[in-house]
Structure 1
């Protein structure tokens, strides 16, 4: 602890190691001390603190208290409680002016990144993230853990799934050393593995998140874990098992099921009934879902509406949902969803064999899904292209697409199986 404090205040005063060490200790001793590689001598510590004009006894109870307040602030942020988060941010900003502990300051800065991601714009979050990148090596293990968690969100919202997963794996390595219980880590790992279509790992991590959330009564993560397990089983066509897990949410007190989660529950029920070809029941649940979904996530439910209408040949209704879906994509800048609607639109128009569609798929859409790590959508697109060229009797080109699928195609699922 003393080493990081001394290094922090030396840099803050823009002193070189030789300037701080002069007349007190050797430069090599100071370097080892700053990197916590030696047990410091109390007399040398006292002289170093004196030269830095800080009190070496100011780093115990007060700093434990401020750390607890920062973590309390973080809990309000993750619960999306804006008023409480905003008030705590202002109070902590004032308190940090009198803070002398670099570990507390670093933790505050990293949690502020989470605050920015949650309540402010993507641009502000990216700017804050880039500012912190230069400081990562100065963070202790706990602060690094939170940093990598939040870094994964920066990548996730940019639809860079591979980078997001890499960041979370760094956080997972640190998790065992820092002595905390965080079911959200395993939930996020499950989400990212699902997006990269590693469904085995996604289910394993979702089960871990569920077990931890049940042990520590984290009802929010519990509900989300049930939903995630449900969507994984839907992805492999196990609709009965999926519905079993979805129904388990009924055991959770209604107070802990958010409006958005209610919307997801109804969307999933609608999709299960769609797969059973019970289309009227599917539409009933999707209409319920629409009343609960947030504007940013409503596009997923609109896509399910479009699936039902294209299957039942309700052309007028399909066209309306297509327009609504594109409008939401334009409003919230989602290329991922825009491409999904584009593929569906061309199936509806029977233009998937046209050169324009094939060129866009090969030059734009498939490379996008590949680069973003959205392997589920990549597999579906590759299968579609393989089928198109097969029907055109271009067997060699068709075989190339089918070969690309082999490394991913571990499960059987419908081409339109998007959630």
Structure 2
């Protein structure tokens, strides 16, 4: 993001400083200009001449070079945003600390809005849902005052906001709105393309995922963004795996592992091992799958959804290998870990479903699906998972010789899959 069109509203700046010092217009204007002149200046109805402006600023004890201050804060905001999209954890926090210390020195409303916009992006990165709610509220309240660039990026960040809450359809809609706005502004932001690829992957639209991922790969390769290139390799691997092209998928995941000594992001290595584990489970090789999932856990941060997701798949493979003790141990570990961070309702359901599967508790599994999970998944339009849940419900009803209900769920699953591939 290159911050553009920052203009200082001197009248508003003088008004803010006067109020913060508890001074009246008369106290500030005496000996410099008339009170009506100052009032018009503060309300943006006239441009001050340089001599009057300098005298007013001196009266308010403002001696710093405002242009230099704007330039300094602008560069810090740009660097902060760059560190966020590059996932540079240390730089992100260092830049935030610097900009937070200067927040009172932000002298234009546009710069202040840019600060709150990038702060919103920071909380998206941290997945701090409590802070996100407050940050979003502030931005919504000031939306009508945003200049075009701020408005466009807010639409983009809203797409990410919905996606991290697993509302991928709403997130995708918002990202496509942002893409249209960016095109109007001749802004080819590769990170927006990456989020489009990621979201298309989450809704299982394989052709669009591959299209946007390859678009990102070209840009990341040309700008030597090695870690981002590896993120694209992961996305390609996941989608080739969905296509059943195991050899291509394995090649992409191994590319990440081969470059592991150069990678700054250990979580990416963990995800490569996770997907190799899933690949081997698709090949019905439970022992090799378990080995990869265990390696994945070593590279992932414990208190997040990605770690819990690997525990779910690991538990299912232990179940497949008839090691019920380890299966229950790891799914209970997932439940325990989820109490230490803000986890989604969807993830909680996945863990509960997995535990009922391990215990062969079809009665409670079906009750959970029909009374809660399917309704919630339909509410958030989570088509990829709804398909899986329909299949589980259909299989249980078939086992119980409830063929009519079984047929109904198979039909619903087929319709979901058909519509996903149609798109």
What's the CA shift string for 1:370-409, capped at 9, x where partnerless? 2233321111101222333344444443343233334431
Asked whether the equivalents of residues 286 and 320 of structure 2 are also in contact (C-alpha less than 8 Å), the reply is: no
1:109 matched to 2:121? The reply is: no
What's the CA shift string for 1:141-172, capped at 9, x where partnerless? 32223323333333333333333223322322
What's the CA shift string for 1:73-95, capped at 9, x where partnerless? 11223344455334433433454
Aligned 1:192-271 pairs, distance under 5 A: 192-249=199-256, 252=259, 254-271=261-278
In the superposition, the TM-score normalised over structure 1's length comes to 0.79
Asked whether the equivalents of residues 201 and 239 of structure 2 are also in contact (C-alpha less than 8 Å), the reply is: yes
Name structure 1 gaps, 5 residues minimum: 31-43, 414-419
Asked whether the equivalents of residues 10 and 20 of structure 1 are also in contact (C-alpha less than 8 Å), the reply is: no
The equivalent residue for 2:22 is: none
The equivalent residue for 1:328 is: 337
From the superposition, tell whether residues 100 and 20 of structure 1 become closer, same or farther in structure 2 (CA, over 3 Å).
Answer: farther
The equivalent residue for 1:36 is: none
Name structure 2 gaps, 5 residues minimum: 20-35, 59-64
What's the CA shift string for 1:328-355, capped at 9, x where partnerless? 2333333322222322332333332x2x
The equivalent residue for 2:357 is: 347
Asked whether the equivalents of residues 165 and 344 of structure 2 are also in contact (C-alpha less than 8 Å), the reply is: no
CA distance in 1, matches of 2:347, 2:196: 22
The equivalent residue for 2:29 is: none
From the superposition, tell whether residues 186 and 227 of structure 1 become closer, same or farther in structure 2 (CA, over 3 Å).
Answer: same
From the superposition, tell whether residues 283 and 174 of structure 1 become closer, same or farther in structure 2 (CA, over 3 Å).
Answer: same
The equivalent residue for 1:400 is: 408
In the superposition, the TM-score normalised over structure 2's length comes to 0.78
Asked whether the equivalents of residues 144 and 171 of structure 1 are also in contact (C-alpha less than 8 Å), the reply is: no
Asked whether the equivalents of residues 199 and 232 of structure 1 are also in contact (C-alpha less than 8 Å), the reply is: yes
Secondary structure of 2:262's match?
Answer: helix
From the superposition, tell whether residues 67 and 176 of structure 1 become closer, same or farther in structure 2 (CA, over 3 Å).
Answer: farther
The equivalent residue for 1:365 is: 373
CA distance in 2, matches of 1:20, 1:374: 59
From the superposition, tell whether residues 20 and 159 of structure 1 become closer, same or farther in structure 2 (CA, over 3 Å).
Answer: farther
Aligned 1:75-94 pairs, distance under 5 A: 75-94=82-101
**Counterpart among 314, 319, 322 of residue 313 in structure 1:** 322
CA distance in 1, matches of 2:98, 2:359: 58
Shift of 1:123: 0.8
From the superposition, tell whether residues 277 and 166 of structure 1 become closer, same or farther in structure 2 (CA, over 3 Å).
Answer: same
From the superposition, tell whether residues 21 and 208 of structure 1 become closer, same or farther in structure 2 (CA, over 3 Å).
Answer: farther
Asked whether the equivalents of residues 263 and 288 of structure 1 are also in contact (C-alpha less than 8 Å), the reply is: yes
Shift of 1:107: 0.9
The equivalent residue for 1:387 is: 395
1:284 matched to 2:291? The reply is: yes
From the superposition, tell whether residues 253 and 321 of structure 1 become closer, same or farther in structure 2 (CA, over 3 Å).
Answer: closer
Asked whether the equivalents of residues 117 and 125 of structure 1 are also in contact (C-alpha less than 8 Å), the reply is: yes
Shift of 1:224: 1.0
Aligned 1:15-30 pairs, distance under 5 A: none
1:272 matched to 2:279? The reply is: yes
CA distance in 1, matches of 2:6, 2:162: 34
Asked whether the equivalents of residues 183 and 221 of structure 1 are also in contact (C-alpha less than 8 Å), the reply is: no
CA distance in 2, matches of 1:166, 1:411: 17
What's the CA shift string for 1:218-259, capped at 9, x where partnerless? 222211111111112222332222112223336757323521
CA distance in 1, matches of 2:367, 2:108: 57
The equivalent residue for 2:179 is: 172
Shift of 1:180: 4.5
Asked whether the equivalents of residues 316 and 358 of structure 2 are also in contact (C-alpha less than 8 Å), the reply is: no
**Matched positions, count:** 389
Secondary structure of 2:267's match?
Answer: helix
Shift of 1:195: 2.2
CA distance in 2, matches of 1:78, 1:23: 42
